[in-house]
Amino acid sequence: QVQLAESGGGLVQAGDSLTLSCAASGRTFRNYAMGWFRQGTGKEREFLAAISWSGGDTYYADSVKGRFTISRDNAKNTVYLQMNSLKPEDTAVYYCAAGSTIASMMRVDVNYWGQGSPVTVSS
C-alpha cells in the first residue's frame, strides 16, 4: 500500500515557475514508477510526465515537454514536478500517481493516486 500526498500548488501568474511535491508513505515507494497528471475543469485527466523507479528514465507529454521536469528522491520518498513558463491553460488540479512502469502511466493505468493539488495560472 502506498499513500500519496501532493503539495506546492497555488495561484501564480503567467510566466512564473512552481514546484509540486508528492510525498509517499510506505517502504515500497522505490518499487514504483511515478507520474504526474492534471485535470482541468470539464476535461479528462491528462498524463504529463513519468519517471522510472530508479529515476534513470523519464517521459513527457508533448504539451509540457521542455517546460516541466519530473524528478524523484527515493531516500525522501518524494517525487517532484518543476513547472516553468506557466500558462493560463496549465490551470488544473495536479495529481501524482504510482504505477508499475512508465508505459502503464502513459495509459493512465495507475495503482495509487494522490488527492490532488490545485494550480491556477492567471494571465
Per-residue DSSP letter, 114: -
With vertex at residue 118, the alpha carbon angle to CA 113 and CA 120, rounded to the nearest 5 degrees, is: 150
Q: Return averaged pLDDT per consecutive 10 residues of the chain, 123 residues in all.
A: 94 98 88 96 96 95 96 95 97 97 93 97 96
C-alpha torsion angle, residues 99, 105, 108, 109 (rounded to 10) = -40
Q: Give the per-residue pLDDT at 76.
A: 94
Q: Give the per-residue pLDDT at 41.
A: 95
Q: Give the per-residue pLDDT at 28.
A: 84
Tell me the three state secondary structure of residue 16: coil
Per-residue DSSP letter, 92: E
Q: Give the per-residue pLDDT at 1.
A: 83
Q: Give the per-residue pLDDT at 114.
A: 97
Q: Residue 84 — φ and ψ, nearest 5°? A: -115, 160
